[in-house]
């Protein structure tokens, strides 16, 4: 409706400035345009409306009754808009940004599934993720919190235990039904094993640690990205090794099931790390505690699921 009553929104801006300053030349300086441009904009607005907005007395101008009425309306409306924008800006400035460094797989398959809970718990926090791909990536700058496997290089940092390293063989419910587990394969079916290129802990090592033989006739599919491995397993493409810190949400939600009852515990531990050079902000402490509690809750649920599977098998 408003668009049909005005030749352009710019003409309304020009009118408000001219009416407020009482001068075409002063309005031109504020708008950073030429005076003829301002005059032309007002003339087009008056022609479109069908009535005058200003009385012109040489270099001086006065508002007509219609112009005065329109000015009071635009002044109030623009004032409301300006105040609203200031409120939004103040709210944005009051938000704290917290940067978390964790593996790409953990971001995709552990954190994102609980993003809604995080937003509800920390509505005023802006999150920034610095995802890394390899476990030996030790870029530990420009972050508030990082989740890494234990390393001597982290000795001079603040550390809080997050999770023991536990490795499981997982597959989708549909895959398990069709091909069976690694412990009890379906006769006449060959497993597909999904593996990461240059994976730090390989499927061969997993089979050796669990005392199993590599499934006879098994096909192997390799990816360069760990998130793709988890996604392929969820889609029923094969059996993949998964770490609790990255796949616990998928296990709890039933998207991935145990393809083997045995869990490998490497003796290593994930920690939450933070710099010891600067004081930790209270909001970062709260998020650290939330992350730890979320993983503890996952561990309890995973333990229940593992026990149920052991009883089942």
Residue-wise pLDDT for 235-255, tens only, equals: 999 999 999 999 999 999 999
Count CA atoms closer than 13 A to 146's CA, side-chain side: 23
234 within 8 A of 242, measured Cβ to Cβ: no
Residues listed for the chain? 313
Whether the CA torsion 255, 261, 264, 265 is positive or negative: it is positive
Beta bridge partners of 128: 99
pLDDT of 28 reads 87
Q: Taking each helix axis as running N to C, give the angle between helix 226-234 and helix 244-252, from 0 to 180 degrees, rounded to the nearest 10.
A: 20
* Low-confidence spans in the chain with pLDDT less than 70: 1-5, 87-95, 133-141, 152-155, 309-313
pLDDT of 225 reads 85
- Strands 125-132 and 60-63, by their bridges, are unpaired
Residue-wise pLDDT for 253-295, tens only, equals: 999 999 988 889 989 999 999 988 888 899 999 999 999 999 9
**pTM of this structure:** 0.67
pLDDT of 272 reads 94
pLDDT of 312 reads 42
Considering only CA atoms, which of 297, 276, 268 is closest in space to residue 146? 276
Please tell me the distance from the alpha carbon of residue 307 to that of residue 76, in angstroms, as a whole number: 67
Please name each of the domains of the chain with its CATH number.
2-93 (1.10.10.10), 96-312 (3.40.190.290)
pLDDT of 98 reads 93
pLDDT of 31 reads 87
Apex 312 CA angle, 219 and 295, nearest 5: 80
């Amino acid at each position: 409706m408003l668009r049909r009553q005005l030749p352009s929104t710019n003409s309304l801006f020009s009118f408000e400035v001219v009416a407020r300053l009482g001068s075409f030349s002063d309005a031109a300086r504020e708008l950073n345009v030429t005076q003829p441009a301002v005059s032309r904009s007002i003339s087009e607005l008056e022609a479109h409306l069908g009535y005058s907005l200003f009385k012109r007395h040489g270099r001086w101008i006065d508002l007509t009754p219609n112009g005065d009425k329109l000015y009071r309306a635009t002044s109030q409306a623009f004032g409301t808009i300006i105040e609203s924008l200031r409120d939004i800006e103040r709210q944005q400035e009051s938000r704290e940004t917290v940067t978390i460094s964790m593996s790409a797989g953990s971001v995709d398959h552990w954190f994102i599934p609980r993003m809604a809970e995080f937003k509800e718990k920390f509505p005023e926090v802006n999150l920034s993720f610095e995802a890394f791909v390899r476990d030996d990536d030790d870029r530990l700058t420009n972050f508030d919190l990082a989740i890494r496997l234990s390393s001597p290089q982290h000795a001079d940092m603040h550390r809080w235990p997050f999770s023991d390293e536990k490795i499981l063989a997982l597959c989708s419910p549909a895959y398990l039904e069709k091909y069976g587990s690694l412990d009890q394969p379906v006769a006449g079916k060959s497993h597909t094993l999904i593996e990461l290129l240059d994976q730090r802990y390989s499927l061969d090592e997993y089979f050796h640690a669990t005392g199993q033989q590599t499934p006879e006739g098994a096909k192997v599919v390799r990816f360069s990205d760990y998130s793709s491995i988890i996604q392929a397993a969820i889609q029923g493409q094969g059996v993949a090794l998964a770490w609790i810190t990255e796949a616990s949400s998928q296990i709890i939600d039933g998207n991935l099931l145990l393809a083997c009852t045995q869990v490998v515990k490497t003796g290593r531990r994930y920690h939450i790390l933070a710099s010891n050079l600067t004081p930790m902000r209270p909001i970062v402490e709260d998020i650290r505690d939330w992350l730890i509690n979320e993983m503890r809750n996952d561990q309890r649920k995973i333990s229940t699921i593992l026990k149920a599977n052991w009883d089942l098998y």
